Structures are given as C-alpha cells and as structure tokens.
Amino acid sequence: MTDGHDGGHGRRRAVRWALVGGTAAVAALVAGLPWLQRDRLPDRLATHWSGGPAPDGSMPLWSASVVPAAVWLVLALALSVRWRRSWTGPRSWLPIALAPTGVVLVGAQISIVRANLDRADWHQARQPGWWIAVTLALAAAAGVLAWRLAVRATATAPLAGTPELDLARDERLVWFSHTANPWLQSLSAVAGLVAVGAALGLVLGLAPAATLWPVCAGCAVLALAGSVSSSVRAKVSEAGLEISFGPLGWPARRWTPDALESARAERRLPSQVGGWGYRLSGLGTTVMLRAGDCLVVRPRGRRSDFAVSVDDAERGAALLNALRARTPGPGR
C-alpha cells in the first residue's frame, strides 16, 4: 500500500547515478588534492587547529589524503544500504545528507592543502579561517539545493483517494478522531517533574546554579515538546480538516476542503517514517504516534503528503473526499 511511488522511475534512476557519480568524484577529489600538490607540501600536513592560528595536529601526506576519502566512502555506503526492508525505496534524505557532507570534506581538504602550501614544516601552517566560513556557507547551500532537487525528483502524483462517503444534500456530517501515545506522555510528564524539581532546587539553592540551569531548561523544553507531540486530534467538518496537537489543541493545522487535492487512509509504521513524533521523510510529513492507520492528505500545490496516525482514518478520508466533491474547488 505504501509502495505507491511508481511514477518517475527514470528520474529515480538518474538520481541514483548522480549519487554514485557524485560520491566517486568527491572521493577522488579528497584523495587526489594532496597528491597533486605533493611537491609543494611538507612531509607531514597540519590537519587540526584548536581555535588558535597555530596547528595542534598533523598527519603524514598519504594518510591526509586517504583517511578523509575513506571516511567519506564508508559514510556514503552506510547511508545507502537499505537496512530495513520496510524502508521505502526513494529516500530523498540521502542526497540531502550526502551533499553538505561532501562539500564540507572537499572544502576542508582544500583548506588544509592551502594552509600547508609552500611551508617547510607543518608547524608553520596557519588556520585557514575564512576558508572554513566559506566551506560552511557552501555546505548549507548544497544542502538546500539537494533538498529542492530531491523533493522534485521524488515528487509523485497523490495516490487515488478513498471513495467518497455517501453524503445527502441536506445532511451535515462531522468526524472526530484522536490518538495519544502513552509512552511520550509519560516521558514528558517525567521531564516536567524533573524540570519542576530543578526549579525548586534553584530557588532553594540546593546545588550550584550553573549545573541546575541547563537541567531545568532542557527538561522544560523536553516536557513541552513531548506534551505537544504526544497526542493529536483530527476533525473533519464542513470547514475542512483540522489537526490539533497536545492537550490544549495548540498548535493546529487547518485545510479547507478545496485546499486539499485528495485524502486517503494508509497503514504506516514508525520504521518507515523514521520514528515517533512529527516526522519528515520520503513519504512527506507524518505525525506518527502509533503504527497503523493513518489519514493521508495531499494539500493542493504541494509535492508531498501530510499524514497523521489516527483511528478510523478510512471514514475520515471518505468524508473529506465527499466534502471536496460538494464544494467545487479550483480546477474543477
């Protein structure tokens, strides 16, 4: 049911070959750069700086070229292997992870070679400060670019929606559903208790403030994030679909019926979307609180789906589709 990404097969093959080619090119560049310049480089290269302009770590020329290339290849291989059968085929996050990493490695290698160029000894090499900044900026740009390209390459037409629910002209139907994850709820409750305890300790001065502050702040953030993402409510009415999070129903996301392209029910597993909570993956956005039935909608003008794990999703989707048919949207 989830292997619906049948379209764009050729595009996916092109993406795969681009990935293989790019990986090989980065490995060759990282390994080859010091070798090409070996006449102008010292025997050992300065490879590490700890803030100051003087280096505090070095490597022989051969390992300075081989080690980063090997790290890169192992990383690329580890990310490309399909560890779990339940993982979906087109994983758009692979290029998103690899592109910035490759840029960082190539940039670091260029910086190291430049810093050591024409030096007699590695101790004379100076920290390539602004090269690091440029490399990081380029890596960020590469990540954004890869993300945009990957989303485009794996974008698929939405799967066929659930058949419409029988809806009489003068009938008003509303559908409610909700899910909660007791594990996440108790986790956030425990974090909340720890935060309160740490706050009390701060007030009473039981421990140095420097150690209690991070505990208090961290646990408070964890408790808030946990309570917001541990329960979800879905509501379908004539106003459209409303998904609200947490015990207070805030934050919430809303779509009118004509803002949706289609709605369907689907079985999804946490292993398919990368875990529990608010997840971004090759399947789009998933609010995953438990394995099983998910209500999946495709917002109009978007390239990916929004899914939320709620019971009885089939009828929610059917009602949404019936409401869409009743209110003529754009392009109908």
Partner 1 sequence: MLLRLDTTDTRPLHEQVAAAIRRAIAEGECRAGERLPSARDLSAALDLNVNTVLRGLRELRDEGLLEFRRGRGITVAEGASAPRSGLRIKVRELVAEASRLGYSRTDLIDMIRESS
Q: Which positions lie near partner 1, rule CB under 8 A?
A: 168, 170-177, 233, 235, 237-239, 249, 312, 315, 319
Q: How far is the CB of 201 from partner 1 (least distance, A)?
A: 29
Question: Under 8 Å CB-to-CB from 209, ≥6 apart: which residues?
Answer: 202
Q: Which is nearer to partner 1, 233 or 268 (CB)?
A: 233
3-state DSSP assignment of residue 262: strand
Q: Which is nearer to partner 1, 95 or 240 (CB)?
A: 240
Question: Under 8 Å CB-to-CB from 254, ≥6 apart: which residues?
Answer: 239, 240, 241, 242, 243
CB-CB contact of 296 with 141 (8 Å): no
Q: How far is the CB of 288 from partner 1 (least distance, A)?
A: 22
| Residue 98 structure tokens | 């690899």
Q: How far is the CB of 186 from partner 1 (least distance, A)?
A: 18
Nearest CA to 150 out of 79, 87, 88, 95 is that of 95
Q: Which is nearer to partner 1, 13 or 326 (CB)?
A: 326
User: How far apart (Å, rounded) are the C-alpha atoms in residues 118 and 100?
Assistant: 29
Q: Which is nearer to partner 1, 56 or 238 (CB)?
A: 238
Going by their DSSP bridges, the two strands 252-255 and 284-288 should be labelled as unpaired
Q: How far is the CB of 275 from partner 1 (least distance, A)?
A: 27
Q: How far is the CB of 171 from partner 1 (least distance, A)?
A: 6
Signed CA dihedral, 210, 215, 216, 220: sign only: positive
Q: Which is nearer to partner 1, 180 or 194 (CB)?
A: 180
